Amino acid sequence: MTANASVFIATSLDGFIARKDGNLDWLDEANASVPEGEDCGYNAFMSSVDVLVMGRNTYDKVRTFGPWPYGDTPVVVLSQNPIEFPDEMPACVTHSSESAIDLHRRLSEQGAKKLYIDGGVTVQRFLQAGLIKEIVITIIPILLGDGIPLFGSLERDIKLTHQSTKTFDCGFVQSTYSVQTDR
């Protein structure tokens, strides 16, 4: 059985996941408006995840947030360059330079059923490889005008099927899509 790869991510209304320099100040400000106890489905999503796969830039950004937020969830950080993890990093955090297809195959063979794919370039690579099955995007009501896009240029159209949309009192809109496969 192959693992289902899913994306759970927030973007600005104009489709950016961060400012050009990687700054998330706009997201931090938006999160301050979220009522206490509301996590927009994040904890339920994370409880279904077997392995989180993120890119090196995302890993570096997450490290600036304070204590490691993923507990003992296995995390694979993709980078072509070796990564020296600090001593305080949980042993469940590992590095890989495998392609999206090879990593997906290996994790599936190891028994992973659901992968959480995070980070712009990493999402784009898994999407281009036809590995993403579900995309959950929470749109934050702000226009940045420029930044790091969630989706880059594509070699082909990728068709999506709308599954659901939910609105939150804080103004966030979360849509879930399944990715259509032609295979």
Domains of the chain (ranges plus CATH)? Answer: 4-174 (3.40.430.10)
Per-residue pLDDT of the chain (183 residues; tens, 9 = 90+): 799 999 999 999 999 999 999 999 999 999 999 999 999 999 999 999 999 999 999 999 999 998 999 999 999 999 999 999 999 999 999 999 999 999 999 999 999 999 999 999 999 999 999 999 999 999 999 999 999 999 988 888 999 999 999 999 999 999 999 999 765
Spatial CA neighbour of 173 closest among 2, 30, 19, 18: 30
pLDDT value of residue 182? 64
d(Cα 95, Cα 72) in Å, to the nearest integer?
15
Helices (H), 88-178: 100-109, 120-128
Q: What is the pLDDT of residue 181?
A: 79
Q: Which amino acid is at 59?
A: Y
